[in-house]
Structure formats: structure tokens, C-alpha cells
Amino acid sequence: MDLDFSAAENAFRAEARAWLTAHVSTSRLPSLETAEGFAAHREWERALFADRWSVVSWPEEYGGRGVSLLQWLIFEEEYYAADAPGRVSQNGINLLAPTLFEHGTPEQRARVLPPMASGEVIWAQAWSEPEAGSDLARLRSTAQRTEGGWRLTGQKTWSSRAAFADRAFGLFRSDPAADKPHPGLTYLMFPLDAPGLTVRPLGRLDGKPAFAELFLDDVFVPDEDVIGAPGEGWRVAMSTAGSERGLTLRSPGRFTAAADRLARLWRDEADPADTALRDRVADAVIGARAYELFAYASVSRIAAGESIGAESSLNKVFWSELDIALHETALDLLGPYGELADDAADAPAHGGWAEGYTFSLAGPIYAGTNEIQRDIIAERLLGLPKGRR
């Protein structure tokens, strides 16, 4: 792995940094988990798209710049270092889009990707069900064949962004006679304002509706919104899950930027005599740098034609635990003020540390629980026998 950047990569970094410096406001946008904040973040997506910064690694025909995965990492580093707004479109860009690139039709890519890149259509993830979270194979929601499409019935829960999003993607059981659990599932896209569909927001610890429950009662979806072949949804979904657990959902720039802010917070606010807290800050910085180097190594392997496969589970366990430790350290450093919400006048960093901590608590659960990821690591990477299942 070559740790030196080329002249073209350095030029790309400089261009990204200049654009972000000119466009990122010093005023923090409202939380994207509110109606006001969601609308403001959608406008930010449109600004990114206007200058082709919303999806830099996508082909130009869909609004991207066609840059390499390494340049995408560079952009992410600059994006988080600039403290730019959170990406309200990340479910679509980081999860559905890779699935469409691998399994979608040319018509689906041409129809779905440009409005996703521009923020015109925001996507929600609709995988989990009341009795099927990490073990997706247990899902019960059904897709029944009808003329020209499918009828969806069932319930989805913990659907990210669904409270305010426009469309969703998920798995449905389309062949009840198939041997369970994996065969007979179909991957579908559907509008959240369709007749027969009810969206019920779910509050996070801070009360903001970061998730929603979806109740589907005979919701019609046309054939054109099936991704991959009917009945092969599990195979399609595994590529989405790999993206979610791997690099795309949590790029290292997110953690290196947060670790740098934590180090500055320590220098500005901490008691130098508190060596225990100092060591936790150092551990967070080291963890972020370690994850960054691991990510660069993974990108080098992908560029050489390899895949990271089950190693995406290592990524998922590492960044989810690092995220909690980093934000816990910041809150302990700030004391009682650190717990103030974003709408409190005295909230440090406009409540960013508190909101980041609240979100980090979900990390070991979503994208497949860490218990499941450790099973995958044990069985597929270490060759250990199957355990708890």
C-alpha cells in the first residue's frame, strides 16, 4: 500500500476543500430528525448536487464525478473536517445505490439514481420487522403476485428516515411455499405515500423521530420496482448489507474529524491532571487513525481486484464501538453541559456531542447486531464452529 497521494489526488483534495470552505455555513442546520431540519438538509443535498459533490464516485451520467474509491475517501475526510451537515440521503446513496449498480437494470439506474443524488427523492431503509431484525430471514411481510406487479402486506419497524422520507426499499416474502428461511424473498422499492401504507414515527431517546414503523395493507408495487429476480432477494440484500457494514456507511473521515475535535476539546477544557481521561482521548485518536489505515488498506485491495467480504463485519464492530467510546469521552470531558440538547442556548458545539452520543448507541444494533457480526467473524474468518444459532 502506497501512503503517498498522487498530484491528481492532492488537486482533488484542494478542490473539495475550497468548495466546502466556500459553502459550509458556520451556522449549524437544525437536526435532520425534525421536519424543519429534514427540509434544510434536503436543500443542502441539492447544493452538493449542483456542483457534483453529492456522489463523487458515481458515473457522470448519474450526477457524479466518476472518481476512484480512494478519492471518495479523500472527499469524506475533507467533508467531515469541514464539519459539513449530516447526509440525509445516506440510506439511498450508501445502501440502495450500490445494490442498483450491482443488481439493478439500466432503466432502474436511470430512473432512480439522479433524483437520489439531487435530494429530490430521499430513501428510507425498511428491512427490520417486529420479529426479524438482524435475522432478516425470519421476516413475515409478504409480496403477493398480481397483474403488473405485487401487493405488499405486513409491518416494518425501525425504518431509518421513514418519518419524512419519500420512498423505501426492503425485503418481502414472495413465495410462502419455498423452503425457509432464505429462498422466496423479493427485494422491492415502494413509495411511502402509497394507498394502503401508514407511517408511524418512532421517537429516539431525545424524542426526535429518527425512525418509523410502516404498516402495509395491500400496497401495490409495479414490476419495474423489483431489484433482481423475484425470489432472489436474499442474494441481492447481502450486497446491500456488505455496503452497510463496510466502508460506505462509516467512512474513516467521520472518526478522524471527530477525534481531532475531541483532542482540541481536551486541550481547551480538560484538567491536565486527569490522566485517566487523557488516556481515553488518546485511545480515541489512536482508534480513529487505526480505522483510517485499515480503510486505506481495504481500498488498496479492492483497487487490486480483491473484495473485503466477511471482513466488513470487522469494520462494523470496530467503528460502532469506537463511535460510542469517542462520544462518551467527550461527554465526560464536558460534564453536565455536555448533555444539553441542540436547542439549549448553552449546549457545547450546538448539542453535537450529545446528539452524536445518542446516535452512537444504536451503532452496535443496526446494520446487523454486533453479536451477529462476531458470529460471522468467528465462523467465516477464524473457522470456528457454529455457536449460538
> Mean pLDDT lowest for which of 155-159, 178-182, 307-311?
178-182
Cβ-contact 292, 256 below 8 angstroms: yes
User: Rounded distance, CA 61 to CA 283, Å?
Assistant: 43
The answer to whether residue 232 is catalytic is no
Residue-by-residue DSSP string for 44-59 = HHHHHHHTT-SSTTS-
The Cβ of residue 102 has, within 10 Å, a number of other Cβ atoms equal to 14
* pLDDT confidence tier of residue 243, bands split at 50, 70 and 90: low
Considering the candidates 33, 213, 244, 311, report the single residue annotated as catalytic. Answer: 244
**CB neighbour burial string for 334-355, b if at least 16 within 10 angstroms, e if fewer:** beeebebebeeeebbbbbbbbb
358-368: average pLDDT: 84
Higher pLDDT, 136 or 252: 252
- The pLDDT tens digits of the residues spanning 312-361 come to 888 889 999 999 999 999 999 998 888 777 777 777 777 788 888 988 98
pLDDT at res. 260: 95
pLDDT confidence of residue 367: 76
Q: 341: closest CA among 164, 205, 163, 162?
A: 205
* Gap between the Cα atoms of 108 and 222, Å rounded: 12
Query: What's the pTM?
Result: 0.87
Residue 245 has pLDDT above 70, yes or no: no
- Under a CB-based contact definition with an 8 Å cutoff, are residues 31 and 37 in contact? yes
Q: Is 202 helix (H, G, I), strand (E, B) or coil?
A: strand
Average pLDDT over residues 80-100: 93
The pLDDT assigned to 322 comes to: 96
Instruction: Check residue 201 and report its DSSP letter.
Output: E
Residue 304 clears pLDDT 90, i.e. is over it? no
pLDDT of 246 higher than 60: no
Q: What is the mean pLDDT of the chain?
A: 89
User: What residues contact residue 321 under an 8 Å CB cut-off, 6+ apart?
Assistant: 363, 364, 370
**pLDDT tens-digit series, residues 222-238:** 999 999 999 999 888 87
